[in-house]
Amino acid sequence: MIRVHHLQDSRSQRILWLLEELGLTYEVVRYERDATTRLAPEALKKIHPLGKSPVLEDGAVVIHESGAIVDYLIRTYGNGRLAPAVATPDYNRYVEWIHYAEGSAMTPMLLRLYASRLGEAAEPLMPRINSETANHFGYMAAALGDRDYFVGEDLTGADIMLSFPLEAANANRALDRFPNLAGFVARIQTRPAYVRALEKGGDYAFGPR
């Protein structure tokens, strides 16, 4: 049995979505953030030393990190779905987006989050944060263009990985300047598998407005 250790308002929501797209049976183990600090509970450290979510258990296999989980699930259960064939030109772009989602796209989002807690002390940092935000979201908007998905004609794991930074940005109105990215978010949030994942995951602050 596949088990997902799922933290409220976190990256693990996209893992539930992927599992629904793959039509797999799984169990959700829910964890709630601390109401004051918004940090994950100590109980998650019993599952993984970092105390972060998501963590996937599949029999003897235990995997942490969203990108690794997405890669594992698609390789193991995809049967050719949700990823380009390795020999095609799209495959390298697919892998690049998988890594970009956490390696680059989340950086300005996290900097903005932490700076918001510093008040006036963060003012010297804001020009750089604003510049990086515009740089990365401008890059994603140009790459998506007028297409529905980031790689090829169909949904892939790259879109699922990119969903979290784009949803977080959209919830804070950071996509108002990038209508095609806002359209991407609206499009994925109407997929039946996405809706089912929301029902199983519980409250999600970055879901449909």
User: How far, in Å, are 9, 60, 113, 122 from residue 173 at the CA level?
Assistant: 17, 41, 14, 20
Predicted pLDDT at 206:
92
Three-class SS of 147-190: CCCCCCCCCCHHHHHHHHHHHHHHHCCCCCCCHHHHHHHHHHCC
Q: What is the domain-level CATH number for residue 139?
A: 1.20.1050.10
Predicted pLDDT at 129:
78
The pair of three-digit structure tokens given for residue 169, joined into one six-digit string: 């940005």
41 or 206, higher pLDDT: 206
Same domain, 67 and 94: no
Burial annotation 161-194 (CB, 10 A radius, 16+ → b, else e): bbbbbbbbbbbeebbeebebbbebbeebbeeebb
Same domain, 102 and 38: no
Query: With 90 as the cut, is the pLDDT of residue 81 above it?
Result: yes
Same domain, 41 and 118: no
pLDDT in tens, 134-151: 999 999 999 999 999 999
The residue type at 177? R
DSSP letter assigned to residue 191: S
Query: With 90 as the cut, is the pLDDT of residue 124 above it?
Result: no
Query: With 80 as the cut, is the pLDDT of residue 118 above it?
Result: no
Predicted pLDDT at 40:
85
Q: For residue 10, give the 3-state DSSP assignment.
A: coil
CA atoms of 85 and 27, how far apart (whole Å): 29
Same domain, 99 and 148: yes
107: domain range?
A: 90-191
- Evaluate whether residue 206 is within a structural domain: no
CA atoms of 129 and 34, how far apart (whole Å): 27
- Evaluate whether residue 207 is within a structural domain: no
Return the residue matching tokens 């390298």: 92
The residue type at 22? L
User: How far, in Å, are 79, 112, 135, 167, 202 from residue 3 at the CA level?
Assistant: 20, 32, 37, 24, 16
Same domain, 45 and 108: no
Q: For residue 65, give the 3-state DSSP assignment.
A: coil
pLDDT in tens, 84-111: 999 999 999 999 999 999 999 998 888 7
Same domain, 122 and 184: yes
- Evaluate whether residue 160 is within a structural domain: yes
- Evaluate whether residue 11 is within a structural domain: yes
Query: With 80 as the cut, is the pLDDT of residue 131 above it?
Result: yes
Same domain, 118 and 138: yes
Q: Give the chain's domain count.
A: 2
pTM of the predicted structure, to 2 decimals? 0.93
